[in-house]
Amino acid sequence: NAGVMQNPRHLVRRRGQEARLRCSPMKGHSHVYWYRQLPEEGLKFMVYLQKENIIDESGMPKERFSAEFPKEGPSILRIQQVVRGDSAAYFCASSGDRGQTYEQYFGPGTRLTVT
Amino acid sequence: AQSVAQPEDQVNVAEGNPLTVKCTYSVSGNPYLFWYVQYPNRGLQFLLKYITGDNLVKGSYGFEAEFNKSQTSFHLKKPSALVSDSALYFCAVSQTGANNLFFGTGTRLTVIP
């Protein structure tokens, strides 16, 4: 059973460009979470999605950031007009139905560097 | 509001000795508590969780944690440390009905041969 997959693993963008980060949840998982980790810090929650729905985006910056989890295909975290402060590791996690299990399983992360 | 405190940025322990990584939390209602481990340039790996029931929770790789409601703590322990346990450890909390995990700032564990 493949784990959570993220690509690319490393992404370099110049200021003003767009970054698209992809996440495929574990097989059978329908809940996806995105977190951001700044250097030497813990993970900060950004957004929680189920298929075709954003459930909780309380951690998302109001501008330039968006996320989706379409009916088919991976979840996408999109950052428009990137700035240096967006440089971080972005982790995706997935979980099964909350009635069965609560732990989230994390992907290897995408390390975004904005030059 | 929920919060997690990991008071020690760094913990050093000799191989074979017991280890403890501390975590205290603040949350409304009943907490769901988790420990994760992160190796360099890797994602987080789930170690164990407390949802309800027995206060002593056993997890992966010989780790365990004890939920103490009166002290609002969830310290991670292992009876005998291995060099391979050296990594960054994160405590996380979620409150009942919430979707997201709230993480502490992490504790770097170094096991000295």
A52-61 pLDDT tens trace:
899 999 999 9
Burial letters for A93-103: b for 16+ Cβ neighbours within 10 Å, e otherwise? bbbbeeeeeeb
Interacting residues of B54 by C-beta distance below 8 A, sequence separation 6+: none
Mean pLDDT for A3-14 is: 96
Position A100 scores a pLDDT of 45
Chain A partners within 8 Å of B90 (Cβ): 42-43
Q: Is the pLDDT of residue B89 over 90?
A: yes
CA B62 – CA A66 distance, rounded (Å): 40
- The pLDDT tens digits of the residues spanning B47-72 come to 999 988 899 999 999 999 999 999 99
Q: Which of residues 75-94 of A touch B (CB under 8 A)?
A: 91, 93
As a whole number, the mean pLDDT across chain A is 91
- Angle made by CA atoms A107, A102, A57, in degrees to the nearest 5: 65
In this model, does residue A101 exceed pLDDT 70? Answer: no
Measured CA to CA, the distance from residue B3 to residue A95 in angstroms comes to 22
Spell out which residues of chain A touch residue B102, defining contact as CB-CB under 8 Å. 45
pLDDT in tens, A73-95: 999 999 999 999 999 999 999 98
What integer is the mean pLDDT of B18-23? Answer: 98
CA atoms of B99 and B17, how far apart (whole Å): 37
Whether the per-residue pLDDT at B74 is higher than 60: the answer is yes
Coil, strand or helix: which one is B83? Answer: helix
In the predicted model, is pLDDT for residue B15 greater than 80?
A: yes
Residue A68 has pLDDT above 50, yes or no: yes
Q: What is the pLDDT of residue A96?
A: 82
A107 at B interface, C-beta within 8 A: yes
- Residues from chain A that touch B53, judged by Cβ atoms under 8 A, are none
Backbone angles phi, psi at B22, to 5 degrees: -90, 150
Q: Say which DSSP state A98 is in.
A: T
